Amino acid sequence: MAMTIDGKAISQRIKDELKEQAAALKKQGIKITLAVIQVGNDPASTVYVRNKKKGCEYIGIESLSYELPEETTQQELLSLIGELNRKEDVSGILVQLPLPAHIDEDKVIRAIDPKKDVDGFHPQSVGALCIGQPGFVSCTPAGIIQLLKRSSIEIAGKECVVLGRSNIVGKPMAVLMLRENATVTIAHSRTRDLKEVTKRADILIAAVGKPKMITADYVKEGAVVIDVGINRDENGKLCGDVDFESVEPLCSAITPVPGGVGPMTIAMLLNNCLESVRMD
């Protein structure tokens, strides 16, 4: 039987630690404020944004909410970001993705002051991560490192396969595992003999966005399996990239969906919000 890694419980512990740290900062007169921008009303984004604001409230971070209409122009959004960059009392800026098609996401990300880039998406944050310098780290990959460490899973020297190469998860994940001294392979849709590659993994991290794609024949016996996917199965039920029923009997530890990686993303965002006032 595999250990099920309880992301909900681990993220709760982290949030309670952050709550104490935020209270200590408040006593020193340091206030933390996160500006959250959503353009349009994508239902999934609305849920994520609501949960992020709830997380802020729980640990004592003020959140400023900017709910902009779908037809907001790129220039209007860039002007708002410029204004928030200049405001001393705003410590972090988060623009929920995806943005409407008429707005250039890269341009928007680049407009955020790297000192306020709590999502860790700015090229300067990504570059700093790659060369081991201080900067914000993308929340989902940072959360996965915490899940592994807080579950006493060794990373150094292990074979790690990251499946997926997105800028938000796959690439920063691979860099973080490298920083923890794993031997890292990034696999993707063009990888040959994919099952042979994923079967080498002591730690397999699936971030492909394909419901239940990873079945037992992709996994080595005793591997640790981390599922980043948030998908709907054929019955509309929430599921990951990993076929939990088929993989669980064979691995040593596994994250469920929901309740695995998901809750960690918000905990790490809140951690970055605290970092944003410490970095000053």
Shortest distance, position 19 Cβ to ligand GUN, whole Å: 21
Shortest distance, position 96 Cβ to ligand GUN, whole Å: 5
Residue number, 112 or 247, with CB nearest to ligand GUN? 112
Shortest distance, position 197 Cβ to ligand GUN, whole Å: 26
Distance separating alpha carbons of residues 267 and 145, to the nearest angstrom: 12
Task: Give me the active site residues, please.
Answer: 52, 96, 119
Residue number, 18 or 253, with CB nearest to ligand GUN? 18
Residue number, 163 or 201, with CB nearest to ligand GUN? 163
Distances (CA, A) of 14 to 102, 106, 108, 135: 37, 31, 30, 20
User: Which residues does 256 contact at the CB level (< 8 Å), separation at least 6?
Assistant: 4, 5, 7, 227, 240, 244
Residue number, 80 or 94, with CB nearest to ligand GUN? 94
Closest chain position to ligand GUN (CB): 97
Shortest distance, position 168 Cβ to ligand GUN, whole Å: 6
Residue number, 59 or 93, with CB nearest to ligand GUN? 93
Shortest distance, position 269 Cβ to ligand GUN, whole Å: 7
Which residues contribute to the site for ligand GUN (CB under 6 A)?
94-97, 119, 139, 265
